[in-house]
Chain A
Amino acid sequence: MAAEHGILDAQAAAWLDEYRQGRVEALGRVVEQYRRPLFGFILNMTEGREDAEEVFQETWRRALRHADRLDGRRLLSWLFRVAHNLIVDRVRAKKPVESLNSEPRAEEPGRAPLADRLPAPGPTPAGESAGRDLDRRIRQAIDRLPPEQREVFLMRIEGDVPFREIARLQEVSINTALARMQYALKKLREDLKDEYAAWVEE
């Protein structure tokens, strides 16, 4: 799990160095490299695509303000932290009483399911349909998690953010961060029962 992130981070670090030496096109490669995990995280934690795109752009804008000091090997995890802070600010601005650190709740008022917040996908070639079905079910299962569990799960799996840092960001103890991850995994195991059984067998 960590090795996969390590390779991506080493590549991003090299591109970031090129950018610092004045080659702006190298930055495009870094943005592209982390587009999927970062946009996925933001999309899952915001109200919809437009919101997500705004936060995505602002995350990079803020990160690049400190381009001198950015550590390319830990860039993704750092981008997740910036995105977390922006999302918390937005939640607080919209709903002053609620926050990401509130107690787990089954429903997020006013937040439509992820599938309803995204445009309908185009026609799918037959060979890809099984993979797309798993994609859809994973998306739905993650979308059903309470926000604080969803955030811990995505920060860990997609952003490789350490638990100590997640705990600091969510202003909870490391044991609470671990418990949130365990609850998330339990629910995902239940929702993805068949796939889970196959992963265990492998």
Chain B
Amino acid sequence: MNCETTRNRILLDQSRELSRVGRWLLAGHLARCPECRAYRAGLTGLAGAVRQVRWDESFDAGLAGRVAAGAAVPAPRAKRGRERAPVFLARPALAYGALSVLLALAFVLILRPFQRPPPLARTAPDSALAWDADVDDRLATLDVLVNQDDADWTETSGAAADSGDVDSIARQLLELEGEQI
């Protein structure tokens, strides 16, 4: 597998944006590739050092206090509701308009669950479960293939064929997850 793709996966893993298949592929590559393990260690070290940098040495110490002092105490919601009320009272057309929009919204929100056929409501979880089972099955196949791949690593032809299988299943899985990496 490509080290360049793996390094993007390392970045996405650290930002919690890597798909399940991506994480699986990353773990497999890291187990075999000392260069990418070094890359990850270097990135962790660099991030830690950058987070120690005292950027704020030149910071005006009073500034944080001024930000806090300048901030108003948040007003309770009820109070602000009352403050807005006279605007509606002064404009009856606006009040009726808003009321009709609210009623229409409530009608749609309340009735929608009854209009939706029950089988359709169950479709999403079922398909999600099926999707999960599908990914699980394929990940299990990948595990078998990769373990074979490890065993046959010295036999170039066998290893090449297995790697091809692994790559193609991995690609299908990524497509299933809607991911490219």
Contacts and interface: CB of A to CB of B under 8 A. Distances in A.
Do A and B form a real pair? Answer: yes
A35 B45 contact: no
B74 A199 contact: no
B59 A35 contact: yes
A43 B55 contact: yes
Contact of A28 (B46, B49, B65, B74): B65
B44 interface: yes
Interface in A34-88: 35-37, 39-40, 43-44, 49, 53, 56-57, 60-61, 64, 67-68
**Overall SS of chain A's interface:** helix
Contacts of B89: none
Interface string A3-47: 010000000000000011010110110011001110110011000
Contacts of A121: 57
Nearest to B54: A135
Nearest to B65: A28
Contacts of B176: none
A37 B14 contact: no
Contacts of B7: 182
Given A28-B65, A31-B68, A163-B15, A138 B58 contact: no
Nearest to A6: B16
Nearest to A138: B53
B55 A39 contact: yes
For chain B, the bracket of interface size reads: 35 or more
A200 B54 contact: no
Given A60-B67, A178-B11, A157 B50 contact: yes
Given A57-B63, A158-B50, A199 B11 contact: no
B144 interface: no
Interface in B1-39: 7-8, 11-12, 14-17, 38
B113 to A, nearest CB: 27
B17 A57 contact: no
Given A4-B51, A19-B74, A22-B74, A36 B56 contact: yes
A26 to B, nearest CB: 9
Contacts of A156: 11, 15
A2 B46 contact: no
A25 B65 CA distance: 9
A56 B49 contact: no
Contacts of B51: 4, 37, 157-158
B43 interface: yes
Given A24-B68, A28-B64, A57-B70, 13 more contacts: A1-B47, A20-B74, A24-B73, A27-B71, A32-B64, A53-B60, A60-B71, A142-B50, A157-B46, A157-B51, A160-B15, A178-B11, A181-B11
29 contacts: A22-B73, A27-B68, A28-B64, A31-B67, A40-B53, A43-B55, A43-B58, A44-B55, A49-B60, A53-B60, A57-B67, A60-B67, A60-B71, A119-B58, A131-B52, A134-B49, A139-B53, A156-B15, A157-B50, A158-B51, A163-B12, A164-B17, A182-B7, A192-B46, A195-B45, A195-B46, A196-B45, A199-B49, A200-B45
